[in-house]
A and B are shown apart, each in its own frame.
Chain A
């Protein structure tokens, strides 16, 4: 089965700083890639997803992610974070055996 690694356990940024959260997966076949966000006390929401086509994917709230197949990576970026981006972020991979695996999550704290 595929596995997903998120490199950063906890990231602390000041407002307006740029964000990049790493995500690598291990699977050699066709994958679909996702980033989910979980705000405090709320359930998972989809930020963006990649199935095929343009490897640079734009999602909601100004987030984007780039799929680099040669590096098995799908890093999440945002040019300027806001206090309201404080949340936990999960990378997920759905491989062609149809079950989805999640990374351990990265907790983002944005200081006002």
Chain B
């Protein structure tokens, strides 16, 4: 079945460490997105990519980085510069007007 796979489901990180969240899709979708979900704030766009080797900052890109070396993969790195990284992270992909969401990764800084 086609879909988006986010891994891991739960991730713990020590303060000051970088961590990378995986997002893989086998839907042949061109565009991919990363959102952060916090209670009472909905989903906020971190980064998005319309095509391979190209990506743009969303509304809250500071402290995050991404790469898009392959169409199928759009990993998100949460760097030590992100002041409040504990959150639920959602990846999505799009082809035309059809969006598909992953099941998310819950990141906790300990």
Chain A positions near chain B (C-beta within 8 angstroms): 1, 6, 9, 32, 34, 43-44, 46, 49, 51, 90, 92, 94, 98-105
Cβ-defined partner of A100 (8 Å) among B50, B99, B102, B103: B99
- Taken together as a complex, chains A and B put the C-alpha atoms of A20 and B96 apart, in Å, by 29
Question: With a CB–CB cut-off of 8 A, which chain A residues contact B104?
Answer: 43
From B40, B50, B97, A51 is in contact (CB under 8 Å) with: B97
Interface size on B, residues (CB 8 A): 23
What's the count of A-B pairs with C-beta under 8 Å? 48
Pick from B41-49, B69-77, B78-86 the stretch touching chain A: B41-49
Question: Given contacts A32-B97, A43-B102, are A105 and B33 in contact (CB under 8 A)?
Answer: no
CB within 8 Å of A: which of B23-76?
31, 33, 35, 40-45, 48, 50, 56, 58-59
Known: A99-B48, A100-B33, A102-B42. 5 other contacts (CB 8 A): A32-B97, A43-B103, A46-B99, A102-B44, A104-B41
Q: Could you say which residues of chain A place their CB within 8 Å of the CB of B99? A: 34, 46, 94, 100
- Across the interface, A1 reaches (CB within 8 A) one of B59, B90, B97, B102, namely B59
Complex Cα distance, B48 from A62, in Å, reads 33
| Contact (Cβ within 8 A) B103 A90 | no
- CB neighbours (8 Å) of B33 from chain A are 99-100
Q: Is the CB of B40 within 8 A of A44?
A: no
Residues of B contacting A43 in the complex (Cβ-Cβ under 8 angstroms): 90, 101-104
**Distance between B33 CB and nearest chain A CB, rounded to angstroms:** 7
Provide the residues of chain A in CB contact with B56, threshold 8 Å: 99
Contacting residues, chain A, for B90 (C-beta < 8 A):
43-44
